[in-house]
Amino acid sequence: MTATAAVLHEFGGPLQIEEIRFDELERHEVRIRVRASGICRSDLTVAATNHGFPVPLLLGHEVSGVVEEVGAGVQGLSVGDHVVGCPVNHCGRCDSCRSGRPFQCSNHGATQRAAGLPARVTSGGSPATQFIGIGGFATHAVLHENLVVRVPAEVPFEIACLLGCGVSTGLGAVLNTARVQHGDSVLVVGCGGVGLNAIQGARLAGARRIIGLDTNDAALDLALQLGATDVVNAREDDPVARVRAANGGEGVSHAFEVIGLPQTLDTALDALRTGGQVYLVGVQKPDAVLGIPFRHFFAQKSVHGVAMGSSIPHLHIPEYADLYLQGRLQLEPLVANRIALHEVNDGFERLRRGGVARSVIVF
Ligand code: APR
Ligand code: ZN
Ligand code: ZN
């Protein structure tokens, strides 16, 4: 079967709209008619330089749609279901998966076809890679069932797609990884599509202070709208002192770095109180080396790596959908632009320029 997709052929080059061809569904696979696909910064990052995902590369990993066909052995999904794709690739059988930590799966290649595995999608006759097992910038996508979560049909597609990455990552980092509690003080460095969900997680957890830090005033306005108690523009003098001032003169208990820059990790560490914790949500190149001054360890601070907000897709995505339907998680303000598939390069450009929150491709 064929579909139309935005395909990357050269790192740093534009995505090209073309026809792709899917193999027959294998066991445990699901074909989705894509209805909405969010543009996340990770798509832009892996399109710009080689991060180990070979071209031709099908980007897009924040996707919602309708199940069109289910392969043999698929359980709990039927044609017509409204679903979200969630890139927590997990085998379901390793010790991490069995102990409830699919986001730490030691066999995550089992549910995605990367380099060296037979392609299930081809572009111009060449095997194509589906970025982290999804490949959502396309009219159709074929996913392993472990990555497909049913959501209530009342959640609009353009909202539902955000649950798969931006919400899972940002909200999950605060609620699942850090387990922020009532009374904690939280700094969110980077108030984009992911960071704004971290702010909402802190609000839902009952944090006493929630401070948003960003260089973009529009992002800070959204941060205030979504639950920040204070905001600091990182372009002003001594942003760390301003964060501490906003927290009654003390460092914060939890800081979330949601950009992926060494200097903003420094800012997050400096803004912590003694014994505070940084959660590194922003993504860097796999071989990036971070220099951390030893004084932070004297001060008993720690840095935690976070992947997909420690979300357990089939447990947490329905919870996040409920929070949205109950009006406790605001997602409409995150959809800044709705664009067509052929405008995907404009969506990338807007993100590169530092637009606010998400552009969503609607089909
Ligand atoms: N200081 C403060 N804020 C900054 C800086 C800086 N030096 N540089 C960028 N920002 C802000 C931008 O203004 C923007 O609001 O960080 C925000 C980043 O948001 P997005 O571009 O929307 O990125 P997002 O999709 O939220 O992803 C953030 O999380 O999951 C990872 O791969 C993802 O590393 C990326 C990060
Ligand atoms: Zn993402
Ligand atoms: Zn596993």
pLDDT digits over 21-53, tens only?
Answer: 888 888 899 999 999 999 999 999 999 999 888
Please tell me whether the interface predicted TM-score (ipTM) of this complex is above 0.90.
yes
Give distance in angstroms: CA of 133 to centre of ligand 3.
Answer: 15
Residues flanking ligand 1, CB < 6 Å: 40-42, 45, 169, 190-195, 213-216, 219, 234, 258-261, 264, 281-283, 351, 354
Return the ligand 1 atom nearest residue 191 CA. Answer: 15
Q: What is the pLDDT of residue 126?
A: 81
Residue 114 pLDDT > 50 = no
3-class secondary structure, 322: helix
pLDDT category of residue 239 using cuts at 50, 70 and 90: very high
Residue 120 pLDDT > 80 = no
Return the ligand 1 atom nearest residue 195 CA. Answer: 26
Q: What is the pLDDT of residue 127?
A: 84
Nearest ligand (C-alpha, residue 283): 1
Q: Tell me the average pLDDT of the chain.
A: 94
The residue assigned the tokens 């979200």 is: 84
Q: How does 165-190 read in b/e, with b if 16+ C-beta sit within 10 Å? A: bbbbbbbbbbbbbbebeeebbbbbbb
pLDDT category of residue 113 using cuts at 50, 70 and 90: low
Strand ranges for 53-208 from DSSP E: 57-58, 62-70, 82-85, 121-123, 126-127, 129-130, 140-144, 148-150, 185-189
Q: What is the pLDDT of residue 118?
A: 52
What would the mean pLDDT of 82-108 be, rounded to a whole number? Answer: 93
Give distance in angstroms: CA of 14 to centre of ligand 3.
Answer: 34
Q: What is the pLDDT of residue 243?
A: 98
Return the ligand 1 atom nearest residue 216 CA. Answer: 13
Q: Whose CA is nearest to atom 22 of ligand 1?
A: 192
Q: Do 269 and 255 form a contact (C-beta atoms < 8 A)?
A: yes
Q: What is the pLDDT of residue 355?
A: 66
Residue 115 pLDDT > 70 = no
DSSP 138: B
Residue 108 pLDDT > 80 = no
Give the range with max mean pLDDT: 110-114, 213-217, 284-288: 213-217
Q: What is the pLDDT of residue 116?
A: 42
Cβ neighbours of 12 (radius 10 Å): 9
Give distance in angstroms: CA of 38 to centre of ligand 1.
Answer: 15
pLDDT category of residue 343 using cuts at 50, 70 and 90: very high
pLDDT category of residue 226 using cuts at 50, 70 and 90: very high
Nearest ligand (C-alpha, residue 37): 2
Pocket test for ligand 1, best of 39, 41, 171, 213 (most atoms within 8 A of CB): 41
What would the mean pLDDT of 125-137 be, rounded to a whole number? Answer: 88
Q: What count of residues does the chain have?
A: 363
d(CA 57, CA 40): 15
d(CA 165, CA 35): 16
